[in-house]
A and B are shown apart, each in its own frame.
Chain A
């Protein structure tokens, strides 16, 4: 029996690892493993079928990196791909309609290791299916198209849908018509309680109040739904939720990040972001201020505060580093962040050489770099010295008046904040050979990128000009990238699933017309983010159930087509905030200095060795600061809060626009034993017992409903109440366990029976916190 069990469990572990591996194949999902000739599409599309292969397997030597191009052949532009080859210029890689004459086909079908493409030493290869795709594409005439993401969005026609599908807005037309193409049907609507739960987490990052659930259960009308949507969107909690996403993108942290990892004060900028989301600042303004607030005419202090965005990168004080090397590192960080956050491109790949896959030359990289290279700053800051230049000082008077959005909780007279400020005389920017700080080459001027297709612009050669280019209506990327990110926030997966890569190696949009429709809508409606979110959650698509039948799972395991809603796991912050919220412990203070709630002792000093000033040793805050929303938790980059990292929060070393959602044993241990979750279990149990006047069954039902937003059914309740009774009996029979479990804070006045009831109820709360459904959206 024993060995049997052991064997069995290791198999279930395999299952778990296996599932993890399956979940993690998103980036490889364009793989054509297992497909055969009979799976070939009738009409082969260049962007959909051919370019991903060329990019992934051929661009390395036949792509945009000019220094690496072999045999004068490249496939990233039409010109280069159709060029005449060989000494006599009489051969062609691609001859439209003529498979025989196309050398590309000869080479990919060759068995000769000197001839075959890709060459064996590249460790790359093509499947038979992929070869056949290339062949048929040539046979069908080798039609060439520009990369979709660099073409200006075009207003698409709204597709028709079957009346029975109950479309609520245009989103549903796009989604449902694709479902019909895939022979799929939309799912039934989600239950009222699960819909409100989903809405509450998506818009506020918090569980719904029971009153809202009840209201919507009793009156599931459109009006009532919209009322709740409005209420959530107007709340501070919504601003906090939006801000939390932005903090990942902006690589926000409370320490400098390198070596001694000293504390920095950036939270006033975070308070500004909160304030901007609360008043629903249009996205173009929101981003323009952050990129170039200091350069706007008669810039206000608020506009300058916004530019702290570009000072959130890491800064070193490690004695002995070369200052210039690190200064250039900071400029690099700003450039890469700009690329990922606003253009959805992997700019960083073009720093050391031309981009291998996308039309971004090394020259263009440094032209963009030039915009961020004029800051009046140094690379190596004085260890334990003053706040790094440039910075501004915020006075208490200002924070009471014009800058009232900064929550000066500790009533400081002055707060310094790092911001952007350019040198009077711009620094020269050079292309750096292999990206190395000490190998400057040709000088370049700031210039907006063209991706080989856009026009060059004549905006100011400053960050302001760059922001103007970004929000020029002809910019093909900005609006698409942001609506795609909002879509990810609401639907769990971007229309372009690689939200940070709209380039050749990125995923193709599942619904390109919808993406364009939304991008144009956002621009036409004045970059109104809140309106866009409202529009998304008003669709019928959003309101579908998350149940997945085996057939549906098999047909669309990644849920690309949205015949259901993915009920994803809550984020790290949501998991903790959920527990604080339903236990009644949460303190809803908005903004202010970051806080230090409980974390296991010694984590900082084990690695800092006494260095790091105020971050040498973690000193837990007292009182209400332990119960703030998790986005306010102090973020030390070299030792981030363990329960956040365990649930996939990024380290904040670099700009992050997409989090992974994993499942690991360490997560189970956090929910089982992290003292914060034990404390919320205790508080939830006490709350439930008080509310239900000590009646266990009702109290358990109450806790279950707070945690999952629905009532436990009879079977579930039987299991839970049974467990409660067993455990209560256990505590009665083992008073020493009871004393240990309740500890010094036990409710001394209560009699023994009440004591064991309380202990067993805490145990039940802990049980409920560990249910999968508790940490899911709904």
Chain B
């Protein structure tokens, strides 16, 4: 191994090295290479822009933000609200009877169950009980979540427009069913900028459920920047040795060798800048510094071995296995601690068309303990109050069985008209259940929350008026909420 002192001494002497190098660049420019360039361009009229854009395009929020950051635990595939959050005793009574036409009321069905001769109502095989001071009903599938229920705001009246995965998940993430618009995290990065210069403002973590291991795919466009600058793109953090693509230097290249290389690259780039004057070169110099810093900051962040035992006990045994939902929850907390604006998790496998009871048990087990642990962990660190946590999927599931309904088995098709999600922290009213569905669990009867309303509320919590965070592209001012959406005051603290 290389003597660490050697490395230390190079880093100490970079300034001396760069200043006595044979290229006669000005001291101001030298400052640039060492990362102190702001003083060299204080006469630059662009300085105003610079100081405002580090905070994003909004020089200040539209109103006082309640949340500084978001952790979104996306449950991909459409978790069944009827087995988790939305207790319907009537279904116990009417089990096996056909869904009344008056309840269905013209609802469009997917091609997967539209051909069925009957629509037998299916009750949950899992028992529900009331928990916490709020007395919210939760099923036996969520023993850990039930312990933190007084921190949560459960919204039972979500509804969406899409009925199939691809358009529905794209709609949730971008406000449009068809691809091409920026993701929610990109909008926040664009609007609010970054609080940490060593990490991207929008980070993404994926995990695959054990309930349905070969379930719905994801698409990298879900965390894409659309028409925004690619700086706002979600950066995928992966388990394994290269947590961000191409982060690791090749084998045999020491940190110091890389540092030296980048110093020379910066020096030659600076010389080039002085010759041709394109400010883009300056930005590339800075971008290499950021890349270099990520090479240290990302592995540090991904290294969860130094977390205490009690943390592992909180998050559960999976937390020690990289790439699991539990491990990702722990990483999400670490990213949030570092000031990352938007941490987006995706947990796949919630698409229970058949064999629902067996599958959902495993899916719920994947996420229950770690989701609850994340809430408690943020709380004990005093971060829950300014971190918004969201848990939910792209749509709900039907109250009738897709395929045969037997004593032990049934499935459920996609259902856009009602589903449940929960939110916590960051300006959300804790310990409440918001909205209500009918006795059949098919239609919303009170306080509906549309996807665009949810998006408007999320932006609101971060201090943004969703109608004012716009980006002009192809002549039109685009918003996350398209031309819709109302903030939901009933769930604000």
Within 8 A of A (CB), among B325-377: 348-349
- Give CA–CA (A743, B233) in the complex, Å: 34
Given the known interface contacts A737-B254, A767-B265, the answer about A28 and B242 at a Cβ–Cβ threshold of 8 Å is: no
- Give CA–CA (A353, B237) in the complex, Å: 41
- Give CA–CA (A9, B287) in the complex, Å: 10
Contacts of A674 in B (CB 8 A): 246
Given the known interface contacts A13-B286, A21-B49, the answer about A638 and B217 at a Cβ–Cβ threshold of 8 Å is: yes
B280 at the interface (CB under 8 A from A): yes
Query: Which of A384-392, A502-510, A533-541 has 4 or more CB atoms under 8 Å from chain B?
Result: A502-510
Within 8 A of B (CB), among A662-689: 662-670, 672-674, 678
B290 touches which of A16, A19, A27, A569 (Cβ 8 Å): A16
- Give CA–CA (A259, B168) in the complex, Å: 11
Within 8 A of A (CB), among B111-164: 111-113, 163-164
- Give CA–CA (A17, B280) in the complex, Å: 11
Q: Is the CB of B476 within 8 A of A672?
A: no
Q: Is the CB of B22 within 8 A of A715?
A: yes
B380 at the interface (CB under 8 A from A): no
Encoded as 1 (CB less than 8 Å from any A CB) or 0, chain B from 44 to 77 comes to: 0010011101100100000000000000000000
Task: Return the chain A residue nearest B265 by Cβ.
Answer: A770
Given the known interface contacts A9-B197, A16-B290, the answer about A547 and B217 at a Cβ–Cβ threshold of 8 Å is: no
Task: Return the chain A residue nearest B51 by Cβ.
Answer: A14
Contacts of A123 in B (CB 8 A): 467-468, 470
Question: Which of B32, B179, B248, B348 has most A Cβ within 10 Å?
Answer: B179
Given the known interface contacts A9-B35, A18-B54, A767-B264, the answer about A640 and B220 at a Cβ–Cβ threshold of 8 Å is: yes
A228 at the interface (CB under 8 A from B): no
Question: Which of B46, B238, B272, B277 has most A Cβ within 10 Å?
Answer: B277
Q: Is the CB of B294 within 8 A of A665?
A: yes
Given the known interface contacts A318-B165, A719-B267, the answer about A15 and B277 at a Cβ–Cβ threshold of 8 Å is: no
Task: Return the chain A residue nearest B479 by Cβ.
Answer: A123
A503 touches which of B111, B288, B475 (Cβ 8 Å): B475
Q: Is the CB of A642 within 8 A of B245?
A: yes
Number of interface residues of B (CB under 8 A): 110
Q: Is the CB of A666 within 8 A of B235?
A: yes
Task: Return the chain B residue nearest A608 by Cβ.
Answer: B217
A581 at the interface (CB under 8 A from B): no
Q: Is the CB of A771 within 8 A of B220?
A: no
Query: Which of B82-90, B223-231, B306-314, B436-444 has 4 or more CB atoms under 8 Å from chain A?
Result: B223-231
Query: Which of A206-214, A298-306, A646-654 has 4 or more CB atoms under 8 Å from chain B?
Result: A646-654
Q: Is the CB of A27 within 8 A of B166?
A: no
A716 touches which of B247, B271, B349, B414 (Cβ 8 Å): B271
State the Cβ distance, A615 to closest chain B Cβ, in Å.
Answer: 10
Query: Which of B95-103, B208-216, B427-435, B451-459 has 4 or more CB atoms under 8 Å from chain A?
Result: B208-216
Task: Return the chain B residue nearest A438 by Cβ.
Answer: B108
Q: Is the CB of A730 within 8 A of B217?
A: no
Given the known interface contacts A15-B283, A320-B112, the answer about A9 and B229 at a Cβ–Cβ threshold of 8 Å is: no
Q: Is the CB of B261 within 8 A of A763?
A: yes
Task: Return the chain B residue nearest A550 by Cβ.
Answer: B277
Task: Return the chain A residue nearest B272 by Cβ.
Answer: A773
Within 8 A of A (CB), among B16-53: 21-24, 31-32, 34-38, 41, 46, 49-51, 53
Given the known interface contacts A27-B472, A609-B208, A730-B257, the answer about A672 and B112 at a Cβ–Cβ threshold of 8 Å is: no
A663 touches which of B165, B206, B248, B283 (Cβ 8 Å): B283
Within 8 A of B (CB), among A227-243: none
B92 at the interface (CB under 8 A from A): no
- Tell me how many residue pairs across A and B have CB atoms closer than 8 Å: 324
Q: Is the CB of B283 within 8 A of A10?
A: no
Encoded as 1 (CB less than 8 Å from any B CB) or 0, chain A from 433 to 455 comes to: 00000000000000000000000
State the Cβ distance, A30 to closest chain B Cβ, in Å.
Answer: 10
Number of interface residues of A (CB under 8 A): 116
State the Cβ distance, A366 to closest chain B Cβ, in Å.
Answer: 18
Q: Is the CB of B247 within 8 A of A763?
A: no
Q: Is the CB of B23 within 8 A of A719?
A: yes
Contacts of B275 in A (CB 8 A): 547
Q: Is the CB of A12 within 8 A of B289?
A: yes
- Give CA–CA (A600, B277) in the complex, Å: 36
Q: Is the CB of B50 within 8 A of A15?
A: yes
Contacts of A349 in B (CB 8 A): 475-476
Task: Return the chain A residue nearest B276 by Cβ.
Answer: A547
Question: Which of A672, A718, A727, A730 has most B Cβ within 10 Å?
Answer: A672
A12 touches which of B37, B111, B265, B272 (Cβ 8 Å): B37
State the Cβ distance, A717 to closest chain B Cβ, in Å.
Answer: 10
Task: Return the chain B residue nearest A566 by Cβ.
Answer: B278
Contacts of A663 in B (CB 8 A): 280, 283-284, 287
- Give CA–CA (A357, B475) in the complex, Å: 8
Q: Is the CB of B286 within 8 A of A16?
A: yes
Encoded as 1 (CB less than 8 Å from any B CB) or 0, chain A from 8 to 38 comes to: 1111111111111111100110000000000
State the Cβ distance, B403 to closest chain A Cβ, in Å.
Answer: 13
Q: Is the CB of A259 within 8 A of B165?
A: yes
Q: Is the CB of A715 within 8 A of B271?
A: yes
A720 at the interface (CB under 8 A from B): yes
Q: Is the CB of A668 within 8 A of B287?
A: yes
Contacts of B272 in A (CB 8 A): 771-773
A610 at the interface (CB under 8 A from B): yes
Q: Is the CB of A638 within 8 A of B474?
A: no
Q: Is the CB of B476 within 8 A of A740?
A: no
A505 touches which of B53, B217, B289, B475 (Cβ 8 Å): B475
Q: Is the CB of A607 within 8 A of B206?
A: yes
Q: Is the CB of B475 within 8 A of A504?
A: yes
Q: Is the CB of A664 within 8 A of B280?
A: no
Task: Return the chain B residue nearest A599 by Cβ.
Answer: B245
Q: Is the CB of A8 within 8 A of B23?
A: no
Within 8 A of B (CB), among A67-125: 123
Q: Is the CB of B286 within 8 A of A648?
A: no
Contacts of A587 in B (CB 8 A): none
A747 at the interface (CB under 8 A from B): no
Contacts of B261 in A (CB 8 A): 723, 763, 766-767, 770
State the Cβ distance, A741 to closest chain B Cβ, in Å.
Answer: 3
Q: Is the CB of A11 within 8 A of B229?
A: no
| Extra 20 A-B pairs, beta carbons < 8 Å, given A609-B217, A653-B179 | A11-B35, A11-B37, A12-B286, A14-B53, A17-B54, A55-B475, A318-B164, A319-B112, A553-B277, A553-B279, A567-B278, A607-B218, A670-B245, A670-B246, A715-B23, A719-B23, A720-B264, A734-B2, A772-B272, A772-B280
Interface pairs (17), CB distance under 8 Å: A5-B34, A8-B35, A8-B37, A12-B36, A320-B111, A323-B111, A346-B474, A553-B279, A606-B238, A608-B217, A609-B348, A639-B219, A654-B179, A668-B292, A669-B244, A741-B252, A772-B285
Using a CB–CB distance below 8 Å, which chain A residues touch chain B?
4-5, 8-24, 27-28, 55, 123, 258-261, 316, 318-323, 329, 346, 349, 356-357, 380, 498, 500-501, 503-506, 546-550, 553, 567, 569, 600, 602, 606-612, 637-640, 642-643, 645-646, 648, 651, 653-654, 660, 662-670, 672-674, 678, 715-716, 718-720, 723, 726-727, 730, 734, 736-743, 759, 763, 766-767, 770-773
Instruction: List 9 tightest A-B contacts by C-beta distance, closest first.
Output: A505-B475, A741-B252, A18-B50, A740-B252, A320-B110, A16-B286, A9-B35, A8-B36, A668-B291
